[in-house]
Structure 1
Amino acid sequence: MKFILFLAIPLIFVPVSAQEPSTLAPIDELLKIMKFEQTVIDGGEAGFVMVEQSLSGQDLNKEEMDEVKDAFIAYMSKVASDPQLKIKTKALYEKSFTDDEIAALIAFYKTPTGQKSLEVMPTITGEIMVFSQQLAQKHVGSFQNALTKILERRAARGEQEDE
């Protein structure tokens, strides 16, 4: 589940068409500048560590793990190039940003800093997700305790209602 959430995060960032930026709608231009499809693929690749961890008990050798990684990258490529992803991404940008904000994002991603952020963000996000998963494991007990108490209260209330 956490891995699926990780995959969803880079999906926000996905290049779109071969048209010249001057003929593209602003959101299409933004997605092109952001190298949207490649960013999704890179984000998935950065998160592959989590796949490796989930398969650690399978005793796969290096060659087999390389096959898994190749299959995973092919999977991420299909996700990144699915037209529905572009449609949904554009809708989310239209809902979340004004035209002026889209223009500001375009201007930012055209700068060297904006381009660098596109290069390093998938790796940073992947590393943060791996670390946050480790922290989640460390703290999951407190959530489980709270959930148990809530469910026990609910069960007790249900028994009283049945009487």
Structure 2
Amino acid sequence: MKKLLSLALALACGVLHAADPAPKSPTDELLELMDYENSSVETAMSTFDGFIDQMKANGVPAAAIGDIRKEARKMYVRIFSSPDVRKKFVELYDKHFTADEIVELTEFYRTPLGKKTLAAMPSIMTDAMKVAMPAVEKEMPAFQQKVGEIVEKHQAPAEEEPEAEDE
């Protein structure tokens, strides 16, 4: 009976051990600490709010604005909760930081200043966009004109069509 109990216990422990998730990579730990999904959604929404302002200025009804904003949030949640997108974010961090730097960033973000930095970053990005937007809007007409000139300069001259012969 003792042997049977020991065997059952060993099998149960083996099953439990096999169910343990694989250890997270340092970059996965960093993204988790950064609250990657929520902070990405909030950053995307702060950018989307610029479009919302344009819609309001163009007379889109307030009720529609609220519904549009809700749909945008749902879309961004789907995007940033996607395993494929998360994998690409991991690759992006791994491209720009060494493994040791990832560990250092993780350690920093666990400090009080690091936590404050993470908490403040979405607001900083939103405010930065608000600061830059008037300058962008002011420069846009001249920029669009320059883009038009560049495209025109690089377009191949229109080929002349051969004249039709009279029959």
Cα distance, 1:55 vs. partner? 1.1
Q: Which moved more, 1:136-145 or 1:99-108?
A: 136-145
> If the length of structure 1 is used for normalisation, what is the TM-score?
0.71
| Residue identity in the other structure for 2:24 | L
In structure 1, list runs of 5 or more residues that go unmatched.
Answer: 1-18
Q: Which moved more, 1:105-114 or 1:123-132?
A: 123-132
Change in Cα spacing, 1:64 to 1:97, as seen in structure 2 (3 Å) is same
Change in Cα spacing, 1:77 to 1:131, as seen in structure 2 (3 Å) is same
Distance 1:108 1:153 in 2: 50
> If the length of structure 2 is used for normalisation, what is the TM-score?
0.70
Cα distance, 1:148 vs. partner? 4.5
Structure 2 counterparts to residues 101-112 of structure 1, below 5 A: 101-112=101-112
1:45-68 CA-to-partner distances (Å, cap 9, x unmatched) read: 32342131231213312x332222
1:54-108 CA-to-partner distances (Å, cap 9, x unmatched) read: 31213312x3322222212111111110111111011111111111111110011
Structure 2 counterparts to residues 25-64 of structure 1, below 5 A: 25-56=25-56, 57-61=58-62, 63-64=63-64
Identity of aligned residues (%): 26
Runs of 4+ aligned structure 1 residues displaced above 3 Å come to 144-155
Distance 1:59 1:32 in 2: 37
Q: Which residue of 2 aligns with 1:99?
A: 99
User: Is residue 30–residue 102 contact of structure 1 (8 Å, CA) maintained in 2?
Assistant: yes
User: Is residue 49–residue 130 contact of structure 1 (8 Å, CA) maintained in 2?
Assistant: no
| Residue identity in the other structure for 1:33 | L
Structure 2 counterparts to residues 73-152 of structure 1, below 5 A: 73-151=73-151
Q: Secondary structure at the match of 1:59?
A: coil
Distance 1:115 1:126 in 2: 18
Q: Which residue of 2 aligns with 1:66?
A: 66
Change in Cα spacing, 1:150 to 1:42, as seen in structure 2 (3 Å) is closer
Change in Cα spacing, 1:153 to 1:119, as seen in structure 2 (3 Å) is same
User: Is residue 41–residue 80 contact of structure 1 (8 Å, CA) maintained in 2?
Assistant: yes
In structure 2, list runs of 5 or more residues that go unmatched.
Answer: 1-19, 159-167
